[in-house]
Amino acid sequence: MTIDISSPLTLPCGVSVKNRIAKAPMTEGLADEMNRATARHETLYRKWAEGGAGILVTGNVQVDRRFLERPGNVVIDQNGGLEELQAFAAAGTVNNTLLLMQIGHAGRQTPRRVNPQPVAPSEIPLALPDSAFGRPRALSSEEVEDVVERFAHVATIAKETGFSGVQIHAAHGYLISEFLSPLANQRQDKWGGSLENRARLLREVVRTTRRAVGPEFPISVKLNSSDFQNGGFSHEDCLQVVKWLEQDSIDLLEISGGNYENPAMMIGGRGADEIKGTTIAREAYFLDYAANIRKATAVPLMVTGGFRTRSAMDAALLEGNVDFIGIGRPMCVDTDAPNQLLVSKDAEAIAYEQSIKPSKGALGWFCLNIIRHADGLDADTDMTGGDAINAYLVNEENTAAALVDRRLD
């Protein structure tokens, strides 16, 4: 049977997905001062759901109010907001769309303005300016057990409020990813040392979550193909963890890479020059790694980063090394990009990052356009990178200033 982006697929848990396009998880920063979902999430995700993707993965929903990826994260931690989550889920599941709540814990990548003392597997700070991230303290074994329960609790709330499934964030240097890395995890207890021990947190989160939500509720994991750091979580480590995750009955694996210290998720594991020289069937940053991972598992795979043309997407699916095509930045501007790709074999998702000057403003540029969609406005493609930097910083400062200080003693 010929497979292309319009082909449906049934996940191992029995849930069917209408096509092979997935909106990749991207941070939104739209929560209120109590870190609850808002009407802006509802507006944004209805647009994305109507845009035609088979799967939408949300931005980070945090399990602990003390440790956020950014001030505007949604958090599920005794802060209410269940009705708002229900509205969020209802909007994101229109048009027969599968809506996965991405669940995370920022760990030592919690910004200082959120918490000056984040937590981590070990007291090893990020190799980044100390002004942005404080020196972490190591979690006790009991606190690690609490993290496991928090993930399962948030997944339960996701199911109860109408989300289609969850994605456990174990990539990009956040807490679970930190436990996987021997550079960040130098513990001597059952949570550190061997790969089996370093993967224990991820596996316990998956197993406990599965027990909480049952066998028919989709559980996805986002995992680094590698941290791309000497001595860090390697591709060989990834292949073994993938085999364990299949044993633990996950339904979808999203492949990525890197962390704040080495942001490979922004340009891929290869260098920019090599990416430019690849064939059309190798547009995606992590597709080569997915080919190796496919040999290790039959779990459906999703690859995000770099895909732009329908022809490359179809070619990747036909090769059989990936099952879902993740699209991120193009959907910050064109919420209808999946529909456009589905109707034409010659369609292309526009790579707006190539026109943003200066390029260092790209992150803010895309985030601000997400916010514009959430406010019911069209994207502003005339915004410069310089304008985006200034406006984004103001937005973040205002969001941080409004954040209710609910850190626990």
pLDDT in tens, 4-16: 999 999 999 999 9
- What pLDDT is stored for residue 284 in this prediction? 67
What's the pLDDT score for residue 279?
38
Q: The whole model's pTM is what?
A: 0.93
Report CA 338 to chain centroid distance, whole Å.
Answer: 19
Question: Two tokens at 356?
Answer: 């943003």
Report the first-to-last Cα separation within the chain, whole angstroms: 58
Q: Kindly give the pairing relationship between strand 9-10 and strand 16-17.
A: antiparallel
pLDDT at residue 300, as a whole number? 98
Name the residue among 157, 248, 237 with its Cα closest to residue 198. 237
Strands 74-75 and 137-138: unpaired
What span, in angstroms and rounded, lies between the C-alpha atoms of 280 and 297? 25
Q: What is the pLDDT of residue 264?
A: 54
- DSSP code string of 84-98: HHHHHHHHHTGGG-E
Domain ranges for the chain: 9-357
Q: What digits encode the pLDDT tens for the residues 197-219?
A: 999 999 999 999 999 999 999 99
Give the tens place of pLDDT for each residue, 275-312: 344 433 446 678 888 999 999 999 999 998 889 999 99
Extract the residue ranges of the chain whose pLDDT is less than 50.
Answer: 268-282, 408-409
Predicted pLDDT of residue 230: 85
Q: Output the pLDDT for position 176.
A: 98
What per-residue confidence (pLDDT) applies to 105? 98
In this structure, what token pair is assigned to residue 175? Answer: 């807490």
Q: Which residue type occupies 39?
A: A
Q: What are phi and psi of 224, to 5 degrees?
A: -70, 135
Q: CATH second-level architecture of 9-357?
A: Alpha-Beta Barrel (3.20)
